[in-house]
Amino acid sequence: GGRSEEVDMAVRCLYEILDVERDADDACIKKAYRKQAIRWHPDKNPNNKEEAERVFKEVTNAYEVLSDPDERKWYDGHRDAILRSGERHQKGGSAGGGAKEQPEDEARVDLYQYFSSSCYKGKGNGPGGFYRVYSEVFDLVAETERDRANAKGKHDFEFPPSFGCTSTEWREVKAFYDYWSNFVTERDFEWMQEHNLASAPNRRIRRLMEEENKKVTRQAKKDFNDLVRQLCAFVKKRDERVERRRQEAEKEKERKAKELDERRRLEREERLRRAQEYDDSAFVDDEGVEEDLY
């Protein structure tokens, strides 16, 4: 209970939010973002702060996605599905020609609507916050995966690492991203199959139907794997723990570089000191030789 399984928001097209054409170049997108950001900045809208904050967030999210070549490419390829996500979620998914219903647990969470910063409020751990929202989303996906694995007799299914919160150790955060960025689903997507094999008039047609059904489920699995992995990448890019770790790693790298420089400097000084001692001792030997000659 108490899960935020459905995001209360109208899904708007990112290009529409920035008021640009879908083939707009980077410069055009940047210019449009600046214009909208200035217009909707909460500080500039003291009498309309709530709406300004909501729109400003939408504008920032649209720019974040459309200014990243990979995220923009993915968005362009899935734009229709994202825009339809709210209504499809309410219908609970559509059955294929095989007249099978989409399993309820697979229909209960529509991942497309989580490709937006509008689905969370702030980067906190509380209700509606970034860490709570995505913890619940990935847990819901994981629960369905576990149930599918168990139904297939795979009782050794290991529940994936959880998303955690702001204070989760990096080791666990890394385990989460390692798992979900290489996600492979246990779902069979049989509900999407178009043909009911029982209606085949003969074996040849039945075989063709079977092939087409397999093709559909294969594609559905691939699409779902891609969807989950892409959501994982979307979340990772916005996860402050990842940025914190990157900064720590950068500092560690600088510290090691300084240590190496210092070690090399000391080694160089040591070599010079030894060379100087050698020269001095050679000079003393030369003096001794000269004295023997007289």
Contact 109, 5 (CB under 8 A): yes
User: Which pLDDT does position 2 carry in this prediction?
Assistant: 44
Residue stretches of the chain with pLDDT short of 50: 1-8, 88-98
pLDDT digits (tens, 9 = 90+) for 7-42: 445 678 999 999 999 999 999 999 999 999 999 999
Handedness of CA 224, 225, 230, 232 (dihedral sign): positive
Q: What percent of the chain has pLDDT over 90?
A: 66
Helices (H) and strands (E) in the chain, counts: 9, 0
User: Which pLDDT does position 14 carry in this prediction?
Assistant: 95
User: pTM for the full model?
Assistant: 0.76
User: Which pLDDT does position 169 carry in this prediction?
Assistant: 95
User: Which pLDDT does position 98 carry in this prediction?
Assistant: 47
User: Which pLDDT does position 96 carry in this prediction?
Assistant: 40
**Exposed / middle / buried, residue 116 (Cβ in 10 Å: 0-12, 13-18, 19+):** buried
User: Which pLDDT does position 39 carry in this prediction?
Assistant: 94
User: Which pLDDT does position 9 carry in this prediction?
Assistant: 52
Torsion of CA 235, 94, 193, 214, to 10 degrees: -10
d(CA 11, CA 18): 14
Helices (H), the chain: 14-18, 26-40, 49-66, 69-91, 104-107, 130-151, 170-180, 203-238, 240-293
First to last CA, the chain: 106
Contact 160, 185 (CB under 8 A): no
What letter does residue 119 receive in the DSSP assignment? G
User: Which pLDDT does position 8 carry in this prediction?
Assistant: 47
User: Which pLDDT does position 102 carry in this prediction?
Assistant: 85
Of the candidates 34, 88, 43, 87, the residue with the CA atom closest to the CA atom of residue 62:
34
Mean predicted lDDT score pLDDT of the chain: 87
User: Which pLDDT does position 285 carry in this prediction?
Assistant: 58
d(CA 14, CA 112): 14
User: Which pLDDT does position 47 carry in this prediction?
Assistant: 92
pLDDT digits (tens, 9 = 90+) for 142-171: 999 999 999 989 888 899 999 999 999 999
d(CA 229, CA 126): 25
User: Which pLDDT does position 293 carry in this prediction?
Assistant: 53
What letter does residue 128 receive in the DSSP assignment? T
Query: What is the token pair recorded at 102?
Result: 């989409």
Contact 272, 264 (CB under 8 A): no
